[in-house]
Structure 1
Amino acid sequence: MTSEGEGQAATVPKRRLSCKTCIDNLWFCYSPVHQMQQYYRLGVLDNCADKWSSLLDCLSLKTKRSSEVQEILENREKDKPHIWTFRTSEESSSHWKEVFGHLDDME
């Protein structure tokens, strides 16, 4: 049997903060493969500024207490926009006609 405190700890997983992925992303950003992909797709080389900022953000989080880090990560998770947009059938119908209505006029 588990005690009540252990059950609560099992339901809320503690996140471990690791900057390894940020370092890996930064390293890959400067690789010739990534730079050539960016040049082919966008016509410019990547300056990797977003990778640097995410690494510095991760390192700054490492200096905080674990309770603060958990709170910050939970708030960031809540602030992320949801991947799906839910619509009613009327909203979806009007959106469909707005986006693809011109195809009906071709016939």
Structure 2
Amino acid sequence: MPKYLISFEKGAMDHIPEEDFPEVGKTSHAVVQEAKDAGVFVFAGGLRYDDGDVEHAVVATDGLVTDGPYPESKELIGGLMIVDVPTREAALEWAAKTAVACRCAQDVRKFIHDPEAD
């Protein structure tokens, strides 16, 4: 089945009051559990950009490593879920559930199928 990336940009949840984050976490985890129970879950996670322990690096084609900071000109992912579903419509349904849980719009993109990666 095709795999889809459901994601939102860094800052997309900035409108949520701090005191609401426990509820957002609870509802988001419930969607992940529902995806697991449905057998479509592949991976999910959020990314931190303000934690000193999290390192960012860019590795060039010549192997040169450049450590952060994050480029302001690049679109950064705030969080993501990968689902393995039969249709685009099914991916959009999971994105809708995620949008409600995370209280922000979700971007949906289909991975290119690589039979050698299966």
TM-score (norm 2): 0.22
| Bigger share in strand | 2
- Specify the structure having the higher radius of gyration (Cα): 1
TM-score (norm 1): 0.23
| Bigger share in helix | 1
Structure with the greater relative contact order (CA < 8 A, sep ≥ 6): 1 or 2? 2
